[in-house]
Amino acid sequence: MTALLAFLFIQAIDSIPPRSAPRSIAIDERLAADAGLKVGDRIFVSAAPGGAGDTVIIAAITRGRADPSEVARSEYRVRMHLDQLQTLTGYADRVDRFAIGTRSEPATDSALRAINSVAFGFRAHRSRDIAVETSRTFVVVSRFHRAIGVITIVASAIFLLCIMLLKVDERRRDIAALRLLGISNRSIIRGVMIEAALVSSLGSAMGVGLGWVASLIINWHYRGVYRTPLAFAVITPSIVGLAVALSLVLGLGAGLLAGRRLVRQPPLDLLTGRHERRRAVTATA
């Protein structure tokens, strides 16, 4: 009799349906920061405000990807279990899009052919191709910025030419004395070009340093505004190489023009300043 009562008591306890633990979800850091949520908090999710839903636990906080196509979007992202999402949205087994991971390029090609040959109503694409299509606008902007940079370097080269002409003209007496001592025109031009190369190298180093500091400030500001790890300004080795090469070539060209302009004048005219009087008379006439 005692055993029977114990058996009935155990059966009564087992007949009580156990309560299922709340499901877990993952939210992005933007939602966590704006709503003041943290890992372990319980929240209620539903497809519409005030509608039927479920209580879930925040199990993780994720960080957004550095995707240019998602920078200007103000959407929040929540990751849920597939069956939970289907129940919440009422989509059942319908999907808008899904991703399939492959181990090699031939496997990717085979999967594309197989899916596109039997699928109806949608097509499969490589994720790389989709990323290129969505980032095409940013490629155009990048080329536009590169063109602006080249124009800026050319303008700075013209400014460098003017500086070299002024500096060389200020030292006309020294150069005239060197020419009277027997120093060849080639040596004088070479010295002017070396000076121009040094000025160009120093200016390039200062420009690279200023650009690096500016990129840090730009990335710090806009990453805070858009809350994304995307790099908005990048100083790449190719950009630095292009800038330095253009600066050196244009600087050497400016030094060559300044030196040749000066050695064409007779040394006595440079020493006595006759070339300036001739220039003034010509300008007056």
Q: pLDDT value at position 176?
A: 79
Q: Region 62-81: what's the mean pLDDT?
A: 73
d(CA 130, CA 135): 9
pLDDT confidence bin for 156, thresholds 50/70/90: confident
Cβ proximity of 276 and 232 under 8 Å: no
- pTM of structure: 0.57
DSSP 63-114: -----GGGSS-----EE--HHHHHHHHT-TT--S------SSHHHHHHHHHH
What whole-number percentage of the chain has pLDDT above 70? 79
Give which of 161, 192, 163, 186 is closest to 254, Cα–Cα: 161
The pLDDT tens digits for 164-175 are 777 777 777 777
- Exposed, middle or buried, 164 (CB in 10 Å: 0-12/13-18/19+)? buried
pLDDT confidence bin for 234, thresholds 50/70/90: confident
Q: pLDDT value at position 217?
A: 93
136-170 vs 185-226: helix crossing angle, rounded to 10: 140
pLDDT top residue among 177 and 219 = 219
3-state secondary structure of 20: coil
**Is 283's pLDDT higher than 50?**
no
Q: Name residues whose C-beta falls within 8 Å of residue 6's C-beta, 6 or more positions apart in sequence.
A: none
Q: Measuring CA to CA, how many Å separate 179 from each of 76, 128, 173, 202, 231?
A: 75, 65, 10, 29, 55
d(CA 21, CA 104): 40
DSSP state of 227: T
Cβ proximity of 55 and 42 under 8 Å: yes
pLDDT confidence bin for 281, thresholds 50/70/90: very low
d(CA 258, CA 256): 5
Q: Name residues whose C-beta falls within 8 Å of residue 200's C-beta, 6 or more positions apart in sequence.
A: 160, 247, 248, 250, 251, 252
H-run or E-run covering 209? helix 185-226
Domain ranges of the chain: 2-89, 99-134, 160-277
Give which of 237, 247, 168, 148 is closest to 206, Cα–Cα: 247
d(CA 100, CA 131): 16
Q: pLDDT value at position 131?
A: 66
Minimum mean pLDDT range among 15-19, 82-86, 101-105, 189-193? 15-19
**Residue located via tokens 């709503």:** 35
